[in-house]
Structure 1
Amino acid sequence: MIIGRYSVALAAQCFALLTAHGLQAESVRTNPTEIRPKAEAAVPYSSVRYDSDHRRDPFLSPIAAARKGENLDVEEPRGEPPPGISGMYIAQVRLVGTSLSDISQTAVLQGQDHRAYFLQEGDRLFDGYLKEIGLDYAVLVRETKLKSGKVVTEVVTKRLRTP
């Protein structure tokens, strides 16, 4: 009997709380034109400030900090070019002719020194290499090494000049 009285009393209190909460929620919903004021200032956070005492941050790379002022997307200097075709840029040569046979393919390139050079696939120039030789074209790949360590490649197709 005692358990029954407590359960009835507990149920009555829960019902009273639920109905009071429901009425309060309805009163908020029934007044939609009321606008709540926004907080004008941010709440200041109370935290302890870290004093490094002139020591480096262990979570930052010292190499990246040293290179912070450098532009890393700039081409790295190549140095002094060697003599001959291996010292010429792709932009300095032009395709004069091609020779195709069953066993080899040869491209005839004329350099800035007006000499003819016979190259096969894989031969290197100063800023790239010869990738492919066709009937009337040669495909060269220009390689640019950036200061960041990336190598950017560009495909250049040289065509025979036809009258």
Structure 2
Amino acid sequence: KTPNNELSQKLYIISIVPSANKKSLLCCIEKDLVGDIPEARYGHSMNVVHSRGKTAVVLFGGRSYIPLNQRTTEKWNSVTDCQPFVYLIDLQFGCSTAYTIKEIQDGLCFHISVSRNDTVYIIGGHTLESNIRSPNIYKIKVDLLLGSPAITCTVLQSRLSVSSAIVTHTCPDEFL
């Protein structure tokens, strides 16, 4: 948050750095983004993808506060679902590009996401507008082509409706 208690639009990259005394230190780098800058949000996901020897971050979903110029006294702290854009962020240069994917119509928040190599799986989530939890799994494949990355999406049907869960890697090919 900023000193005015607003959500920050900066990207914070936190890494673990080994030190000489066998303790690890947390290092935080604050990065300004250029290009299509995602609005400040919470309840979103960020996943690292690897393709063609390159690395990028996929940001999706979440909620944000209604912009200051649209707030009224009654709705000062109101929130809204973020637009259903998939952002691809180059961490080296801080370039951010928003992609519209026809298969994703809602900016889901509090979903689960996991990534493996060049693919992000988005599972479940919730929308304020329809007040439903999505039963879909979105398989987002990222191809980091030189100059113009390509993003494709496949919708996998599921009977599982999830929000606000935690997923962890248990081994190279399994998640729990």
Task: State the TM bucket, normalised to the shorter chain.
Answer: under 0.3
More helix by share: 1
Query: TM-score, normalised to structure 2's length?
Result: 0.23
TM-score (norm 1): 0.25
Larger radius of gyration: 1
More strand by share: 2
